[in-house]
Amino acid sequence: MAQSYDMIVIGGGPGGYVAALRGLQLGLSVALVEKERLGGVCLNRGCIPTKALLSDVEGIQWARRAAKAGILLGDPDVDFRAIMRRKAEVVEQVVSNLEKHVTGAGVTVCHGSAGIRGPGEVSVDSGEVLRAKHVIIASGSRSWVPRIPGADLPGVVTTRQILQVDKAPERLIIVGGGIIGQEFASIFSAVGSRVTVLEALDRILLGVDSELAKKYLTLLRGKGVSCETGVRIGEIIKTNTGLRVIYERKSKEKTADADLILMATGRKPFMDGLGIEDAEIRTENGAIAVDRCLKTSAEGVYAIGDVIGGRMLAHVASYHGEIAAENVAGRDRSREDNVVPSCVFTMPQIACVGLTEEEAHAAGRAFRTSTFALSASGKAVAMGEQRGWVKLIEDSQTGRLIGAHLMGPHVSEMVSGLALAIRSGMTASDIADTIHPHPTISESIREAALGFLDGPIHSASRTKSQNPT
């Protein structure tokens, strides 16, 4: 006999489990179906394991700098297996705590793959049948690998497999220069791998302000990471010593050799087996189409997170999960996800929110930018992390902040305040009139804001204007 609930959630990632917990808070009975462990890609194979690795890598980098300064007597010996062990322990702790929290709160968790089989009916391949008036699809995304001859060879891996290696490759090729690729480049270059990044576009870190992306590329090459843009990969072949990528750049054929090749070429919405067509759920560009309330074209069915395309970020999925659950509970809430912070956990970190220069120009907006270098920040110099920048963008007509782009230590912890500033329509004067604590990296935000006024205190002013053509 089918079990009945107020709401069924398909997928237990950051969107799904948040939707389930929010539904419980609002008095709904909730079933959540997950084919693997709760937490989805983020907790199990993405955000959390990579941040555990990056935390250790930052420690290694500090130790090397300390050895260079004579504080430590010699460079640190790195045990890669121990790093991977700690990563696994962190994931287990976070995921097991989440599982206890979700089940302890009262969510019924069903293990298996789910599909919509009729109005308000969800079947699980374990044999269970669930019924509810409302269903939230939070099935997430999966790695997308382009059709490159040889991409199926042993040693060509996705992010899922590379997080399971027990030995750092001597030579690593990363296909894809986006956020995921650059984070893994930071990790493996720091543990001794010779890293080569191959990117099809003419720049790395698409979506990051181009000026900051260029600055980061300079830092990347200074760390010994080879990065080539504008490449077209022809094939991957096996050699006597490993793998070889044959590619073309500027009409010239080139090759790169590796022991391991990571395909960091993006992700695509996961809809396999969900019964999308049978449920008459409309899709657009390979993703589920939704309205501002996250409703699909099927009555009572919502979709959230990566499966609807757009910004595939865990915090966006969680935000969507809250909104969908509230709408299921009878509240009328629309998503407002135009101002979304994005973080790149490289070394140094990059954090962005709002419009880039390119986006502001494309929108025909008159704007000004102000940039403050962390080399003028006492805290950054004290940390030995002075290679960074804070760049703010304001609308020339209203004076309101419309974009913020940061590179430096801990900037991922600073960008939320700037997201609030943009969403609230704050101006440079509002930021400059707010006392910032000293000594902190966040002081640099105020210095950049002062650049729109009479100029920063601790460096020469550097602002520029752009008028629509």
Any idea which residues carry the catalytic annotation? 438
Which residue, among 429, 304, 449, has the nearest Cα to 371 in the 3D structure? 449
Q: How far apart are CA 336 and CA 120, in angstroms?
A: 28
Between CA 50 and CA 345 the distance in angstroms is: 9
Please state the separation of Cα 154 from the chain's center in Å. 27
Encoding tokens for residue 461?
Answer: 């002013």
- DSSP bridge partners of 400: 427
Which residues does residue 425 pair with via DSSP β-bridges, in sequence order?
none
